[in-house]
């Protein structure tokens, strides 16, 4: 690994830790200038394509899920670590399917399941956009279902 500061070709790893299901964070120190920097090592997986509702296919992008989750969780008391855990769990579910293509609707269901467990307000926010409630009665029905689940102790 080349030092980003002095471009020397030899560094030593001072610390390694898993930062996600498919990522390792490494702290490195240059053997010449002794400055420290961080690198991330990612497992290269077979690319997955998302089949959109209109039939188009596009490459899976975790950042698109992140954007939707962050919008739903805006101004909610949820830490960055909790958000990253949710995103990692969703991504793991997608990869565990072992398929090269996945329907966007299935990803949406994974996100809604994760948000239902994490934060009910964020879940309702996401569901209202994702399910594109046509009228208030459908929205009320979703809130009633969530309330019943909470009363049963499901979350």
Residue 119 resides in a domain:
yes
User: Which of these ranges, 54-58, 120-124, 145-149, has the smallest mean pLDDT?
Assistant: 145-149
**Measured CA distances, 100 to 17, 24, 59, 74 (Å):** 29, 24, 10, 32
pTM score, whole prediction: 0.66
Query: Domain check: are 76 and 30 in the same one?
Result: no
Query: Domain check: are 86 and 20 in the same one?
Result: no
Query: Domain check: are 91 and 123 in the same one?
Result: yes
Q: What is the pLDDT of residues 72-119, one digit of tens each?
A: 999 999 999 899 899 989 998 998 898 999 999 999 999 999 998 999
Return d(Cα 122, Cα 128) in angstroms, integer. Answer: 10
Residue 3 resides in a domain:
no
Neighbours of 10 (CB within 10 A): 10
**Sheet-wide strand order for 11-20:** 11-20, 23-30, 36-42
What domain range is 27 assigned to?
A: 11-42
Return d(Cα 148, Cα 122) in angstroms, integer. Answer: 17
Query: Domain check: are 16 and 84 in the same one?
Result: no
Residue 99 resides in a domain:
yes
- Domains: count for the chain: 2
pLDDT over threshold 60, residue 147:
yes
pLDDT over threshold 80, residue 61:
yes
């Amino acid at each position: 690994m080349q030092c980003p500061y002095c471009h020397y070709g030899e560094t030593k790893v001072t610390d390694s830790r898993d930062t996600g299901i498919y990522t390792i964070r490494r702290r490195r120190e240059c053997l010449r200038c002794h400055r420290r920097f961080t690198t991330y090592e990612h497992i290269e997986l077979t690319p997955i394509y998302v089949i959109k509702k209109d039939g188009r296919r596009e490459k899976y992008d975790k950042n698109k899920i992140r954007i939707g989750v962050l919008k739903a969780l805006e101004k909610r008391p949820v830490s960055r670590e909790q958000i990253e855990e949710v995103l990692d769990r969703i991504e793991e579910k997608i990869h565990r399917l072992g398929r090269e293509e996945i329907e966007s609707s299935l990803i949406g269901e994974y996100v809604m399941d994760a948000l239902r467990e994490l934060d009910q307000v964020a879940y309702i926010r996401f569901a209202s956009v994702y399910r594109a409630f046509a009228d208030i009665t459908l929205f009320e029905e979703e809130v009633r279902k969530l309330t019943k689940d909470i009363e049963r102790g499901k979350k």
